[in-house]
Amino acid sequence: MLSQVAEGVLVHQSALLRNNAVVVQGRDGVLIIDPGITDAELSCLARDVAELGRPVVAGFATHPDWDHVLWHTELGDAPRYGTARCAARMEELRSDPDWRTRVTEGLPPEIADETPLDLFGLITGLPAGTTRLPWAGPEVLIIEHPAHSPGHAALLIKERRVLVAGDMLSDLFVPMLDEPNGANDPVAEYLVGLQQLADVAGELDVVIPGHGSVGDQVRDRIELDRAYVVALRDGQSTEDPRVVSAEPGWEWVGDIHTGQFRTFAERRNETPGG
């Protein structure tokens, strides 16, 4: 079911991971951002959009994680955009003859047989540096940043004062940093991404995270994420409510934190002067 969160902006939330698929109404049709995640949910989303009486004219994937690059035949064949790095990551993955097996092995087992992969990852990369989504609807600014995943972008729907944040600013998930590989600094990258979102916070009334509840306390969410990342960097304990008060069934969010805390502790120990 679609729920309106701002004028012309609606959200369809999945059950398992509470992914937020975002529908933006434009003059000639609708834009769909990060649709997901099971066949039944995507089909339901397509029916709900059809009831709006407008065709799907564009899609956008905020980043190349599996649950943000899905699509369904019932949504049609509109161009599905992403950043150049997001599209390149998907093209590289799909070039592997065993890509379906690789993707399926990474899916939650509860929905592995229910997630449609025929149109998985077919993303049209926008030229590097593109700052506006090419569609005939409300102006949508693309805020590409290095946090969480290469090719990640948030979308600012200016006249609706809405930020679609991708996998950031969630009230359920702690910040999930990119894996350190020796050539990157995931903490610094995440802080850069948060600052880019903070730079537009004054233009916002609503934030839609990739997972969890839509909110209006944008600055509070940014500062909560920032405090978590700094504590992770410095090896400090955290009282982040997403870790210490995980709701029943979501205790594994604490496991994400435990794993990240261990990873970055090891990284500090391996760094001279760390």
**What's the CA gap between 151 and 12, in Å, rounded?**
24
**What's the CA gap between 150 and 179, in Å, rounded?**
11
The DSSP bridge pattern shows strands 140-144 and 30-33 to be unpaired
Q: Which two tokens stand for residue 202?
A: 């004054």
Q: Which two tokens stand for residue 25?
A: 């109404």
**Is residue 272 scored above 70 in pLDDT?**
no
**What's the CA gap between 61 and 34, in Å, rounded?**
5
168 neighbors 193 (Cβ within 8 angstroms): yes
Give span(s): CATH 3.60.15.10, the chain: 1-127
pLDDT band at 271 (very low <50, low <70, confident <90, very high): low
Q: Whole-model pTM? A: 0.95
Domain 1-127 is of which CATH architecture? 4-Layer Sandwich (3.60)
180-224 tens-digit pLDDT = 777 789 999 999 999 999 999 999 999 999 999 999 999 999 999
pLDDT band at 80 (very low <50, low <70, confident <90, very high): very high
Lowest pLDDT segment from 4-8, 62-66, 129-133, 251-255: 251-255
**Is residue 168 scored above 80 in pLDDT?**
yes
**What's the CA gap between 42 and 161, in Å, rounded?**
26
**What's the CA gap between 4 and 253, in Å, rounded?**
28
**What's the CA gap between 131 and 182, in Å, rounded?**
30
**Is residue 270 scored above 60 in pLDDT?**
yes
